[in-house]
Amino acid sequence: MLDDFLVRAALGGTGVALAAAPLGCFVVWRRMAYFGDATAHAAILGVALSLVLSTSLFAGVLTVSLLMAVAVSWLSGRGYAMDTLLGVMAHSALAFGLVAVSFVAGVRIDLMGYLVGDILAVGRADLAIIWGGALLVLALLGSRWSALLTATLSPDLAHAGGIDPRREQLVLTLCLAMVVAVAIKVVGVLLIAALLIIPAAAARPFSRTPERMVLIATAIGVLSANGGLAAAYRFDTPTGPTIVCLATLLFLAASLIGRRLESIAPRPARPHE
């Protein structure tokens, strides 16, 4: 079965969606969208590093993504405005990565594959990395679920309950770096943030609890990945962008339906918002 490239692509897209959707909910709740974007852009520098050192692409991307996320977290508390800091680091990391890749001699590099993904080229080894990373992310989020929610809702409440908000931030940072590393093959560095944010945002109008939002976001992410793959195969379009386009259409539909439902029966405010 795994000899069929479409089956491998579908499994790869599903694995990334399963990891990205729950994490994306925390990104939305904590308003960390640009944080995810900066971490994703740093992945190109990780690609260059892995090629120069002849190491695993996954290891290079994970290392640099994690270093970027930790650096942003560290600098944000030292007098730098978060949006300015993220803007500088996101674009500079992408630029340095692209320049560094051009200096790698004797290696033919498909930059478009790294920028917008190449899900149809996913192999068995890639599937092992994607699903291994996805299961690790889900295990981390599941084991820290209550603490993460409390720290997201109120750092003061977390402190009162003996929870260190910085430790929970570090857990999310590690998960974010892991998702970037496994998703680069599927949607590329320019679209990873979209796959994190859009399914979670689409799930929000229908969610009265954090757990329900995670489940709906996961369903939307899996539908986007597999539906986008089918549409790209049918219409011969770039697969990564097509996946994000379908996710966007689902978000627009969810927004319209959510407004309609709210006009009929307004809902009370939800604490996780």
Confidence of residue 246 (pLDDT cuts 50, 70, 90): very high
Split at pLDDT 50, 70, 90, the class of 251 is very high
Do the Cβ atoms of 185 and 13 come closer than 8 Å? no
pLDDT band at 1 (very low <50, low <70, confident <90, very high): low
- Angstrom CA distances, 109 to 49, 102, 185, 197, 248, stand at 13, 9, 13, 29, 30
Over residues 8-18, the pLDDT tens digits come to 999 999 999 99
254-257 long-range contacts (CB < 8 A, ≥24 apart) are 254/202, 254/203, 254/204, 254/205, 254/206, 254/220, 255/202, 255/205, 257/205
Mean predicted lDDT score pLDDT of the chain: 84
Whether the pLDDT of residue 153 is over 80: the answer is: yes
pLDDT digits over 165-185, tens only?
A: 888 888 888 898 889 888 888
pLDDT number for residue 82: 66
Average pLDDT over residues 187-215: 90
Could you tell me which of 180, 211, 209 has the C-alpha nearest to residue 195? Answer: 180
Residues 193/89, Cβ–Cβ less than 8 Å: no
Q: Tell me which fold the domain 5-189 belongs to.
A: ABC transporter involved in vitamin B12 uptake, BtuC (1.10.3470)
- Between CA 118 and CA 111 the distance in angstroms is 10
Q: What is the pLDDT of residue 136?
A: 94
Q: Is the pLDDT of residue 110 over 50?
A: yes
Q: What is the pLDDT of residue 11?
A: 93
Q: What does the longest C-alpha to C-alpha distance in the chain come to?
A: 63
Count of CB atoms within 10 A of residue 190's CB? 21
Q: Is the pLDDT of residue 225 over 60?
A: yes
Q: Convert the pLDDT of each residue in 43-90 to its tens digit.
A: 888 888 887 787 888 888 888 888 887 777 677 666 666 667 777 877
As a whole-number percent, the residues of the chain with pLDDT over 90 amount to: 36
